[in-house]
A and B are shown apart, each in its own frame.
Chain A
Amino acid sequence: MTTKSITEMPSVSYGATIWRLIKSFGLLRESWVGMIGAFLVLFWVFVAIFAPLIAPFDPNAAIQPFATPGVVSASGKTFWMGTDHMGRDILSRIIWGSQTVLFYAPIATVCAYAVGISMGLMAGYRGGLVDDILSRIADIVLSFPVLVLYIIVIATIGSSGFNIVIAITFASSPGIMRIVRGLVLDLRNRDYVASAQTRGESDWRIMLFEILPNARGPLIVDACLRLGYVIITIGVLGFLGLGLPPPDPDWGGMVNETRQMAMVFPHMTLFPCIAISSLILGFNLLADGLREISLRD
Chain B
Amino acid sequence: MILLLSKRIGFMIFTMIIVSMILFLLLETGLTGDPATRVLGNFASDEQKELWRDQHGYNQPVVIRYTQWLGNFATGELGTSIRYKSPVKDVLLPRLWNTAILGFWTFAIMIPLSLTLGVLSGMKEGSLLDRTISVFGILTTSVPEFASAVFFSALFVFGLKWLPGTSSMSSGFDFKQLILPTMVLVVYDFGYVARMTRASMAEVMTSQYIRSAVLKGLPYRQVIIRHALRNALIAPFTVIMLQINWLLSGVIVVEFFFAYKGFGALLLEASLNNDIALLEACAMVAVVVAVTSQTLADIGYTFLNPRIRFS
Q: Which residues of A contact B32 (CB under 8 A)?
A: 156-157
How far is A225 from B294 in the complex, measured between Cα atoms in Å? 23
0/1 per residue, B185-211, Cβ < 8 Å to A?
000000000000000000000000000
How far is A223 from B294 in the complex, measured between Cα atoms in Å? 25
0/1 per residue, B279-306, Cβ < 8 Å to A?
1001100110111001000000000000
Q: Which residues of B contact A236 (CB under 8 A)?
A: 144-146, 249, 253
Closest to B31 in A: A156
In the assembled complex, the CB of B235 is this many whole angstroms from the nearest CB of chain A, namely: 17
> Quick check: B294 and A143 within 8 Å, CB to CB?
yes
> Quick check: A235 and B146 within 8 Å, CB to CB?
yes
In the assembled complex, the CB of A4 is this many whole angstroms from the nearest CB of chain B, namely: 48
Q: Is B245 in contact with chain A by the CB < 8 A criterion?
A: yes
Give residues 247-300 of B contacting A (CB, 8 Å).
248-249, 252-253, 256-257, 267-268, 271-272, 274, 279, 282-283, 286-287, 289-291, 294
Known interface pairs A236-B144, A284-B138; A147-B248 also in contact (CB < 8 Å) = yes
In the assembled complex, the CB of A145 is this many whole angstroms from the nearest CB of chain B, namely: 4
Q: Is A194 in contact with chain B by the CB < 8 A criterion?
A: no
> Quick check: A240 and B15 within 8 Å, CB to CB?
no
Q: Classify the secondary structure of B's interface with A.
A: helix
> Quick check: A240 and B253 within 8 Å, CB to CB?
yes
Q: Which residues of B contact A285 (CB under 8 A)?
A: 138
Given contacts A147-B253, A152-B271, A240-B252, 9 further A-B contacts (CB under 8 A): A139-B11, A155-B271, A236-B249, A239-B257, A240-B268, A263-B153, A263-B158, A269-B150, A281-B139
Binds A, one of B18-26, B59-67, B100-108: B18-26
Q: Is B143 in contact with chain A by the CB < 8 A criterion?
A: yes
In the assembled complex, the CB of A160 is this many whole angstroms from the nearest CB of chain B, namely: 14
How far is A147 from B19 in the complex, measured between Cα atoms in Å? 15
> Quick check: A232 and B139 within 8 Å, CB to CB?
no
Q: Is A19 in contact with chain B by the CB < 8 A criterion?
A: no
Closest to A157 in B: B32
How far is A255 from B287 in the complex, measured between Cα atoms in Å? 29
0/1 per residue, A262-297, Cβ < 8 Å to B?
110010011001101100110011001000000000
Interface size class of B (residues with CB under 8 A): 35 or more
**Taking each of B33, B139, B142, which has the highest tally of chain A beta carbons within 10 Å of its own beta carbon?**
B142
Q: Is A259 in contact with chain B by the CB < 8 A criterion?
A: yes
How far is A259 from B145 in the complex, measured between Cα atoms in Å? 14
Q: Is B236 in contact with chain A by the CB < 8 A criterion?
A: no
> Quick check: B146 and A252 within 8 Å, CB to CB?
yes
Closest to B38 in A: A156
Q: Which residues of A contact B294 (CB under 8 A)?
A: 143
Q: Is A146 in contact with chain B by the CB < 8 A criterion?
A: yes
> Quick check: B146 and A273 within 8 Å, CB to CB?
yes
